[in-house]
Structures are given as C-alpha cells and as structure tokens.
Amino acid sequence: MRAYLVDILAVGFFVLEWSVYSFTLEHSAYGRDSLSARMHIYREVWIRRVLEREARMVDMQIMASLQNGTAFFASSSLIAVGGAMALLRSTSEALGVLKALPIDMSPSPALWELKCFGLILIFIYAFFKFAWAYRLFNYVAILLGSMPPASQRDTAEAEAHVVRTTRLFESAGRHFNRGQRGFFFALGYLGWFISPWVLFATTAAVVIVTWRRQFASNAWRAMENQT
C-alpha cells in the first residue's frame, strides 16, 4: 500500500482539482463572470433576435454548424476510447518500452492497466457529454423551427418559447463544455503514465491553462461589458 501512496495522492489531487474547477465554473458567483457564462447571455440575445425576423435560414445554418462540431467531438471521443483500449491490450509491450529507457519508470502491470482503465473512463464520460449535447442541439433546432412568427413576438406564448429555447440552449452548451473539459483533463491525466509526480504537475498545468482561458484570455476581455 505504501508503494502506491504517491499514486493515490496524485489521482486524488487530479479528481479534486477537476471537481473544484467544475463546481467553481458552473455553481459559484465567481464562475458567473467566466467566458462561458458571458456567452450564455448571448444565447438569449440570439434567440430573441430570431423571434424578431421572419427569415431564419441563417439561424438554422448556424445550428447545423454547432451540431456538426459536437458530432465531431463525439466521434473523436469514441476514437480515443479505442486508442485507450488498444493501449490496455498492449500492456506488456508498453512496459517493455518503459523498461528500456535510461530511467526505469515502468509500473507494475496491474497499475498500468488501472491507468488505462481510468483514461478509458474519462473518454467515455466525454463521449456521453458530447452525445447528449448533440441531442440537445437537435432539440434546440426543433424549437427554433417552431418559433412563433415575428408578428406574434409580443405575445406571452412567444416569451415562453424564448425562455424554454434559451434554457435548452444553455443546457446543450453546458454539456458540450463538460465534454471538452474532459478532453483537457485527459491530457493532464496522461502525466500519470510517466510518474505520479508528473500527474501533479500536468493537472496543475491544465487547471491554470483552462482557468486563464475562462477568466483572463483575450476572448474573455473581448466579451467584457463595455457600457
């Protein structure tokens, strides 16, 4: 047990950082100023402007591009799962390569397989998030197609339709962000294949990079309220 104490601590740190970052981004007051939160506002702006125009072909084309991008990531998740499973099947070959390095960093076969299982689970999680986001984008497209005509934009029914469409749109974007976050943290998780100490470093690096993109990037500043 002591031999794997550092590995346990490293994985615990990885899970904790992912959980805390996700909670802060989605459920805290601090997260409401993130780039993703700022984009949520413009989802409602978009839906309200769709209601004001009769010709909505461009809006449906934008929805199609969002669906295609989500489908690409869902397909990539399945490919990544296949690659991780191939890595699992090649345990002996991989350990042989690690043992041939100047510094022997090869773990036990059981630990190597455990690492592979963890990677598979992360990509499966990402697939489910992307697949559900794709389905939700389909639902949003249906709601856009059933949007009341512009002549009825001041009715209570039109307002209710805007609200439900916006909420569904936000949910789709939230699940897409979670799947993409899974991809980012999967890159950090790869550090464990080298060493638990490297996992500490790669996890911290992923958190720093993703935090900066959400709260200190040029895109975040571009979406800042200028009024």
Asked whether residue 39 is domain-assigned, the answer is no
Tallying the residues shown for the chain, one arrives at 227
Query: How many domains would you assign to the chain?
Result: 1
pLDDT by position in tens, the chain (length 227): 665 789 899 999 999 999 999 999 999 999 989 999 988 888 989 999 888 888 888 888 888 999 999 999 999 999 999 999 988 887 777 666 666 666 656 677 788 888 999 999 999 999 999 999 999 999 999 998 888 888 888 899 989 999 999 999 999 999 999 999 999 999 999 999 888 999 999 999 999 999 999 999 999 998 886 44
Asked whether residue 152 is domain-assigned, the answer is yes
Segment holding 193, helix H or strand E: none
Q: Which domain holds residue 166?
A: 10-17+56-78+120-209
Asked whether residue 176 is domain-assigned, the answer is yes
pTM for the predicted model, two decimal places? 0.89
Is the Cα dihedral 30, 35, 40, 44 positive or negative?
positive
Please check whether residue 175 is in contact with residue 129, taking contact to mean a CB–CB distance below 8 angstroms: yes
Burial 176-212 (b: 16+ CB within 10 A, else e): bbbbbbbbbbbebbebbbebbebbbebbeebbeebee
